[in-house]
Amino acid sequence: MINEKIRNVAIIAHVDHGKTSLVNEMLKQGGVFRENQEVEDRVMDNNAIERERGITILAKNTACAYNSVKINVIDTPGHADFGGEVERVLKMVDGVLLVVDAYEGPMPQTRFVLQKALELNHKVIIVINKIDRPDERITEVVDEVLMLLMELDATDEQLNSPIVYCSARNGVSKLKMEDEAKDFVPLYETILNHIDAPSGEENEPLQMLVSACEPNEFVGKLAIGKITRGQMKVNQQVTLCNYHNSEVNTKTKVVTMYQFEGLKRVQVETSTVGDIVLVAGCEGVNIGDTICDSASVEPIPFVKISEPSVEMTFSVNDSPFAGKEGKFVTSRHLRDRLYKEKDRDLSLRVTDGETSEQFKVCGRGEMHLAILIENMRREGYEFQVSMPRVLYKNIDGVKCEPMEKLVIDVPEESVGVVMEKMGVRKGELQQMSPHQNRMRIEFKIPARGLFGYKSEFLTDTKGEGVLNSIGIGYEPYKGEIERRTTGSLVAHETGDAVQYGLFNAQDRGSLFITAGTPVYAGMVVGSNPKNEDIVVNVCKKKHLSNCRSSSSDEALRLIPIQPPSLEASLDFIGDDEYLEVTPKSLRIRKIILDHSERMRVRMRGVKAGE
């Protein structure tokens, strides 16, 4: 059976190439919204962090209609750190829209997502987006996409993929650049004509691969997937099984079933081959499981998600301010939340740490873990995290480390400083090409060489540089890389920071805090240019005396400061420091708070090194 009334497509691309804007416009022109309805931009990015950062973090399902055909659309993330989201949802679709920026062309994540789509033998529609850019270079970008397809060993059919030229912001598309662009009809027609309709045996026993899970406090965990065989009905008895784990064999029941219509979920009684559905009632379901008819238990193979490359230790907050700002502060709360996240995010690994209050969390990159930390603090969790560390592998007796392909787009005058910094961080130059008055430079660099570089890069390029990276596997260890060239300004005592103490401390380096900020002994209150820690007393008050000089009452001027963000704090912390995370505050602190004890440990380490 071929279900001609449905098309299932995923929109894949590098970050900021316009995937979510394209979905927005497809929904508008697909009749999802009323003509007079006000619709906010990037309506699919409904998570607060996604809207603040302007990025997609979680893959999302929606649907629109064209010529009585239902088009199920999955909007996927563009950042490499959330590549696991892309990998698992590609099993739900029969084709992809590869969106490419008309100026930037194919970027690292473009290669990654396209490779995953080609491996599944999906049909591809190439969408050249942002054709209204004044600096567009459409002809060159088309050639670059075709070169990429050849590099990835695309089939002849995939090399002949149709090309649609779009401006998602203006809601127009066309098949040739000389055509007049009015609406998205050329894009819709291309989807209907080129993407295969889902097929399967409607009268055979049910089979559905679970590609995503979503927690719901009312009906439990929702399983999301595409029915590849048979029909699913409410109250049907089914069995959960797993291709990679024969121990999974649970009988359960379909309690409620939904399908996507626009941004809504509509409850249905029956679904058939090709439908993407949400199923409630399957107790204990996980991503990668197969929901089968109990009379015919046959699991479907599930794509192996790429392994994580960065590790952090999450632990219970034990600072002097512990428990003052958070709602969930115990190891039980922390453990439950992390293992719950592990069930939802297949790219994440969580294991118990050395003590009952520590947990090892591995992810695809710094941003992957930073988003998890930000979500947890917004939910009321209080905890502390260690410095990010890369995960090494022993391959044939050789210590190997994760490598990244780094693509940097900078003004010509910034090339020198970028090359210098890359040399220090063990970056190997692969390619350099001019793009108008800018240079695109490609490096191969150890993943740990990028820790802490992003903020430095923006300073070096005066905010005009663009940096993108993606993992390219493991290579032999490249040697020591100095992670940090600055030291910490460490508070001497507990109290509230005062202007006089901060005024004296700011001569030693850059401050992170303002007057009135509560501090404790061992808390990091700033950085200093020397690669050593300096203890400062930011709580010190000015003593009154009977003698006054002509300048004694002048106002003490503090240099304005911008408290470090979550990512900046993670970039800054060193081996002997933690980042204390609460719903209200981010505090960097020494693991050993007492200064004398820190000195003793340090001296023991120096003597041991001798």
**pLDDT 10s digits, 16-37:** 777 778 888 888 877 665 444 4
What phi, psi does 59 have (nearest 5°)?
-65, 140
Residue 224 is assigned to a structural domain of this protein: yes
For residue 19, what pLDDT is reported? 75
Q: Tell me which of 245, 276, 293 is where a domain ends.
A: 293
Residues 130, 237 within the same domain: no
Element (H, E) at 376: helix 366-378
Q: Is residue 551 part of a domain?
A: yes
554: DSSP letter: S
Q: Is residue 343 part of a domain?
A: no
The answer to whether residue 156 sits within a structural domain is: yes
Q: Please give the tally of structural domains in the chain.
A: 4
The torsion angle over the Cα atoms of residues 138, 144, 148 and 154, rounded to 10 degrees, is 60
Flag whether pLDDT at 43 surpasses 60. Answer: no
Same domain (yes/no): 567, 533: yes
283-309 average pLDDT score: 83
Query: Is residue 82 predicted with pLDDT exceeding 70?
Result: no
pLDDT at 212: 80
Is 329 a domain residue?
no
Segment 372-380 shows an average pLDDT of: 90
Domain match, 275 and 160 both: no
- Quick check: 3 pLDDT over 50? yes
Are 211 and 183 contained in the same domain?
Answer: no
The answer to whether position 127 is within a domain reads yes
Q: What is the average per-residue pLDDT within 417-439?
A: 87
Q: Percentage of the chain surpassing pLDDT 70?
A: 89
Q: Is the dihedral of CA 144, 448, 489, 321 positive or negative?
A: positive
Q: Does the residue 181 lie in any domain?
A: yes
Asked if residue 82 and residue 36 are part of one domain, the reply reads yes
Tell me: do 97 and 233 sit in the same domain. no
How high is the pLDDT of residue 384?
94
- Same domain as 496, residue 399: no
User: Residue 58: its pLDDT value, please?
Assistant: 52
Which residues sit opposite 265 in a β-bridge? 260
pLDDT of residue 497 exceeding 80, the answer is yes
Task: Write the pLDDT tens digit of every residue in 466-477.
Answer: 887 878 889 999
Q: How many angstroms separate the CA atoms of 515 and 500, rounded?
A: 9
Nearest by Cα to 375 from 331, 344, 352: 344
Residues 465, 493: Cα–Cα separation, whole Å: 41
pLDDT for 476: 93
| pLDDT at residue 41 in the model | 44
Q: Is residue 582 predicted with pLDDT exceeding 50?
A: yes
Q: What is the pLDDT of residue 143?
A: 92
Look at residues 272, 293, 314 and tell me which one is the last residue of a structural domain: 293
The residue range of the domain holding 436 is 393-476
The alpha carbon of residue 491 and the mean position of all alpha carbons in its chain are separated, in whole angstroms, by: 34
Average pLDDT over residues 456-464: 82
| Residue 20, helix vs strand vs coil | helix
- What is the reported pLDDT for 51? 47
Q: Is the pLDDT of residue 126 over 90?
A: yes
3-state DSSP helix/strand/coil percent for the chain, to nearest 5? 25, 35, 40
Residue 347 to residues 342, 386, 480, 570, Cα–Cα distance (Å): 8, 20, 28, 20
What was the pLDDT predicted at 547?
57
Q: Pick from 194, 229, 253: which residue ends a domain?
A: 194
Q: Look at residue 45 in the predicted model and tell me its pLDDT.
A: 42
- CATH number for the domain harbouring residue 158: 3.40.50.300
> CA torsion 144→148→151→156, rounded to 10°?
-100
Domain CATH number, residue 429: 3.30.70.240
User: Which of 18-32, 126-140, 251-265, 368-382 has the lowest average pLDDT?
Assistant: 18-32
User: The sheet that has 222-229: what strands, in order across it?
Assistant: 245-253, 237-242, 289-293, 207-214, 222-229, 276-280, 256-261, 264-267
pLDDT of residue 115: 82
Q: What is the pLDDT of residues 175-214, one digit of tens each?
A: 988 888 888 889 999 999 999 888 888 889 999 988 888 7
The pLDDT of 165-182, averaged and rounded, is: 87
Same domain, 155 and 48: yes
Domain CATH for 264: 2.40.30.10
Q: In this structure, are residues 366 and 567 in contact, taking their beta carbons and an 8 Å threshold?
A: yes
Largest Cα–Cα distance of the chain, in whole Å? 98
Do 510 and 547 belong to one domain?
yes
Q: Band the pLDDT of 286: cuts 50, 70, 90.
A: confident
What is the pLDDT at residue 192?
Answer: 92
Residues 153 and 263 both lie in one domain: no
540: domain CATH number?
2.40.50.250
- The average pLDDT across 417-423 equals 90
Regarding whether 64 and 148 lie in a shared domain, the answer is yes
**Residue 85 predicted with pLDDT over 70:** no
Mean pLDDT computed over 268-293: 87
Cα separation of the two ends of the chain: 75
Is the domain of 525 the same as that of 573? Answer: yes
pLDDT averaged over every residue in the chain: 83
Does 200 reside within a domain?
A: no
Provide CB contacts within 8 A for 269, sequence distance 6+. 233, 234, 257
Report the pLDDT value the prediction gives residue 31, as an integer from 0 to 100. Answer: 63
